[in-house]
Structure 1
Amino acid sequence: MIIVTVKASPKSEHKQDFISAFKTVSELVYKEEGCIEYEMYQKDKESNDLFIFERWESKEALDAHLKTKHMEDFFAKVSTWFDSENDMQVYEVK
Structure 2
Amino acid sequence: MTDQGVRVVARVVARPGKVEELRAVLQGLVEPTRKELGCVTYELLQNKTDPTDFTFVEEWTSEAALDAHLQSPHLQDARVKLPGLAVADPDIRRYTVVE
TM-score, normalised relative to structure 2: 0.83
Query: How far apart are 1:83 and its partner, in Å?
Result: 2.1
1:68 equivalent to 2:68? Answer: no
Partner of 1:93: 97
- Matched with 1:10 is 14
Q: CA 1:11/1:28 → structure 2, altered by over 3 Å: closer, same or farther?
A: same
- CA RMSD in angstroms, aligned pairs only: 1.6
Bigger fraction of residues in helix: 1
Give the letter for the 1:70 counterpart.
H
- Measured in 2, the distance between the counterparts of 1:85 and 1:72 equals 13
Unpaired segments ≥5 residues, structure 1: none
Q: How far 1:45 moved relative to its partner?
A: 6.2
How far the C-alpha of 1:46 sits from its partner, in A, is 5.1
Any idea what the Cα deviations from partners look like across 1:36-87, whole Å, max 9, x if unmatched? Answer: 1111111116531122111101000000001111111111122321222332
Aligned to 1:20: 24
After superposition, the Cα gap between the structure-2 partners of 1:92 and 1:46, relative to the gap in structure 1 and judged at 3 Å, is closer
Q: Is residue 2:47 matched to residue 1:43?
A: yes
Separation in structure 1 between the aligned mates of residue 81 and residue 88 of structure 2, nearest angstrom? 15
Instruction: Give the superposition deviation at 1:88.
Output: 1.4
Q: How many residues align?
A: 94
Q: Distance in 1 between matches of 2:42 and 2:71?
A: 16
Mapped partners of 1:88, 1:25: distance in 2:
15
Higher Cα radius of gyration: 2
Unaligned 5+ segments in structure 2 are: none
Alpha-carbon distance in 1 for matches of 2:68, 2:9: 17
TM norm structure 1: 0.87
The whole-number CA distance in structure 2 between the counterparts of 1:78 and 1:85 is: 8
Percent of residue pairs bearing the same amino acid type? 27
What stretches of structure 1 move > 6 A for 4+ residues in a row? Answer: none
Separation in 2, partners of 1:46, 1:68: 29
